[in-house]
Amino acid sequence: MGNEVFLKLTGIRKSFGGVHALKGVDLEVRKGEIHCLAGENGCGKSTLIKAISGVHSVDSGRIEIDGNQVEKLKPIDAIQMGIQVIYQDFAVFPNLTVAENIALNGEVLRGKKTVNWKQVKKTAKEAMALVGANLDPDMRLEMLPVAGKQMVAICRAIINDCKLLILDEPTTALTDKEVQKLWKVIRGLKEHGIAIVIVNHKLDEIYAIADHLTILRNGSFVSTGKIAEYDEERFTRDMTGHDVDHAKYRPVLSKEEVFRVEHLSLKGRFEDVSFSMNKGDVLGITGLLGSGRGEIGEALFGITPPESGKIFLNGNEIKVNSVNDAIQNRIGYVSEDRLTEGLFINKSIQDNMMAASIQRYFHGIKLDTSEMSRATASLIEKLGVVAPGGDVPVRTLSGGNAQKVVIAKWLNTNPRLFILNGPTVGVDIGAKAEIHSILRELAKEGIGIIVISDDMRELLQNCNKIIVMRNGRIGEVTDNNAERIEL
């Protein structure tokens, strides 16, 4: 098993009005192969998938499925040839049961007038056994977590002789553990000879699951090959079109203290935490979940204030007993969960960017909206936010651009200390590098930057000092920068 090509696309082109979403894309997927399709947001991945599944008719190019060239592929043809797609929303029915979601479609498709409920349940159970999913067939889908709904969608996809299973960004809403479980299921399907295409742009996940990788950029085919042919440098270059600066952050050493904490404690969360930062420092805090790593950030921003200890900002002791205290002292904070805590996703970029500094734009009772638009435009420019303008809602932005909006919101408060928890979670590799360079620049300007992260590669590259938390205490402090320049 393995070398026989199941799907071959050559020179696929597709435009929507003036938008050239696909400009001649090739893709070759073999039976029993796990093939990752990668590329930055908007590069055409979903459009390509919809071309394979017959949802979009292509403008030109060749589609060969199982050795046969197909003209004018319709969704029903694709399904009959064994192609199944799981889109990001899974398209499951919340008010139906697990068994109904998996097997009802098949019953209806077979043109039965009455539904054989026994058969529905039996089919569903068989599919779950094959996939290795262990769900209650009578449970209503709305009761299941995202990962459960996804399993149901996979079960439904494979019951009718599936030969190619395509998953569009299947891991975005999953926890690490759920991702591992998904990979196990996918590997099982591969063993059955099913070809699998996974849209994904996270390098770590791609390394964990892919046999082959194809990279698109801006609607164009860039490269394809075995996963072993891609190291991080090549992956980044092919994804972004340029070399990303992998040089470690090496600030000029300064004796000017920016921030210091002494013996900070909060019962049950962390104990006796002391550290200091000088101008130019980007401090990393890491550790396992629950080690105190995130808890320190929340304490310094006054969400759960410390019970004892001292905090000094630019040499002066400050009290942080509430979020308001933190903001008054010009401390900015980007939480781990920007979508629920950091952003009003239905509001415009401008509303979000101005949200933490709105007082500044009041003249008496009148808001200076033209000053606000000017500030927004300059932040968009400074942070390189890709958007048609400041008035578009944040929900239309990619993860990286949304995160830049959160960062801009705090920058506009002129922070003296800026704490970021998971600053690049769910962010494209290109935008990730841009966010890192923004943080380095801010540190050089003298803003204290604290990055809380479990991404060791991110910390080693961007922080000159790293604290490892263990059981609420500082376990280790690493000076990541032996070759720092002395002033």
Ligand X SMILES: Nc1ncnc2c1ncn2[C@@H]1O[C@H](COP(=O)(O)OP(=O)(O)O)[C@@H](O)[C@H]1O
Binding interface with Mg ion (CB under 5 A): 45-46
Pick the closer one to Mg ion by CB: 331 or 402. 402
Q: Is 362 in the site for ligand X (CB under 6 A)?
A: no
Residue 16 site contact among Mg ion, ligand X, none (CB < 5 to 8 Å, cut-off depends on kind): ligand X
Q: Please select the residue that binds ligand X; options are 21, 244, 451, 467, rule is CB under 6 A.
A: 21
Give the nearest distance from C-beta 50 to ligand X in angstroms.
8
Pick the closer one to Mg ion by CB: 44 or 342. 44
CA distance 320 to 301: 7
User: Two tokens at 178?
Assistant: 């759920």
Pick the closer one to ligand X by CB: 10 or 41. 41
Give the nearest distance from C-beta 169 to Mg ion in angstroms.
6
Q: Is 344 in the site for ligand X (CB under 6 A)?
A: no
Pairing of strands 212-217, 34-38: parallel
Q: Please select the residue that binds ligand X; options are 11, 24, 42, 475, rule is CB under 6 A.
A: 42
Give the nearest distance from C-beta 42 to ligand X in angstroms.
4
Q: Is 44 in the site for ligand X (CB under 6 A)?
A: yes
Q: Is 39 in the site for ligand X (CB under 6 A)?
A: yes
Q: Is 401 in the site for ligand X (CB under 6 A)?
A: no
Q: What is the DSSP string of 378-407?
A: HHHHHHT--SS-TTSBGGGS-HHHHHHHHH
CA distance 444 to 344: 30
Q: Is 43 in the site for ligand X (CB under 6 A)?
A: yes
Residue 44 site contact among ligand X, Mg ion, none (CB < 5 to 8 Å, cut-off depends on kind): ligand X
CA distance between the termini of the chain: 63
Give the nearest distance from C-beta 43 to Mg ion in angstroms.
9
CA distance 195 to 29: 7
**What 3-state DSSP class applies to 55?**
coil
With contact defined as beta carbons under 8 Å apart, do 426 and 399 qualify?
yes
Give the nearest distance from C-beta 9 to Mg ion in angstroms.
17
Which amino acid appears at position 324 of this protein?
N
Residue 332 site contact among Mg ion, ligand X, none (CB < 5 to 8 Å, cut-off depends on kind): none
Pick the closer one to Mg ion by CB: 214 or 481. 214
Pick the closer one to ligand X by CB: 38 or 135. 38
Pick the closer one to ligand X by CB: 16 or 117. 16
Give the nearest distance from C-beta 142 to Mg ion in angstroms.
25
Residue 132 site contact among Mg ion, ligand X, none (CB < 5 to 8 Å, cut-off depends on kind): none
Residue 305 site contact among ligand X, Mg ion, none (CB < 5 to 8 Å, cut-off depends on kind): none
**What 3-state DSSP class applies to 484?**
coil
Residues in the chain: 487
User: Two tokens at 402?
Assistant: 């949304």
* Number of Cβ atoms within 10 Å of the Cβ of 89: 9
Pick the closer one to Mg ion by CB: 210 or 451. 210
Q: Is 241 in the site for ligand X (CB under 6 A)?
A: no
Select the span of 44-52, 111-119, 143-151, 348-356 touching ligand X (CB under 6 A). 44-52
CA distance 186 to 433: 31
Q: Please select the residue that binds ligand X; options are 35, 45, 269, 279, rule is CB under 6 A.
A: 45
Residue 43 site contact among Mg ion, ligand X, none (CB < 5 to 8 Å, cut-off depends on kind): ligand X
Residue 419 site contact among ligand X, Mg ion, none (CB < 5 to 8 Å, cut-off depends on kind): none
Pick the closer one to ligand X by CB: 46 or 424. 46
Q: Which residue bears the tokens 């781990």?
A: 336
Q: Please select the residue that binds ligand X; options are 12, 35, 38, 46, rule is CB under 6 A.
A: 46
CA–CA distance from 167 to each of 36, 196, 197, 290 (Å)?
Answer: 10, 8, 6, 32
**What 3-state DSSP class applies to 276?**
strand
Give the nearest distance from C-beta 21 to ligand X in angstroms.
3
Q: Which residue is nearest to Mg ion (CB)?
A: 46
Closest CA to 7 of 81, 66, 77: 66
Pick the closer one to ligand X by CB: 51 or 261. 51
Give the nearest distance from C-beta 476 to ligand X in angstroms.
40
CA–CA distance from 141 to each of 38, 98, 136, 170, 358 (Å)?
Answer: 30, 6, 10, 18, 43
Long-range contacts of the stretch 286-290 (C-beta < 8 A, 24+): 286/452, 286/453, 286/454, 286/456, 286/459, 286/466, 286/467, 286/468, 286/469, 287/454, 287/468, 287/469, 287/470, 287/475, 288/454, 288/470, 289/454
Pick the closer one to ligand X by CB: 38 or 261. 38
**What 3-state DSSP class applies to 33?**
coil
Give the nearest distance from C-beta 258 to ligand X in angstroms.
39
Q: How many residues bind ligand X (CB under 6 A)?
A: 11
With contact defined as beta carbons under 8 Å apart, do 380 and 387 qualify?
yes
Pick the closer one to ligand X by CB: 46 or 286. 46
CA distance 204 to 37: 14
Give the nearest distance from C-beta 89 to Mg ion in angstroms.
11
Residue 19 CA from chain centroid, whole number: 25
**Residues of the shown chain interacting with ligand X in the complex, contacts defined by CB under 6 A:** 16, 19, 21, 39, 41-47
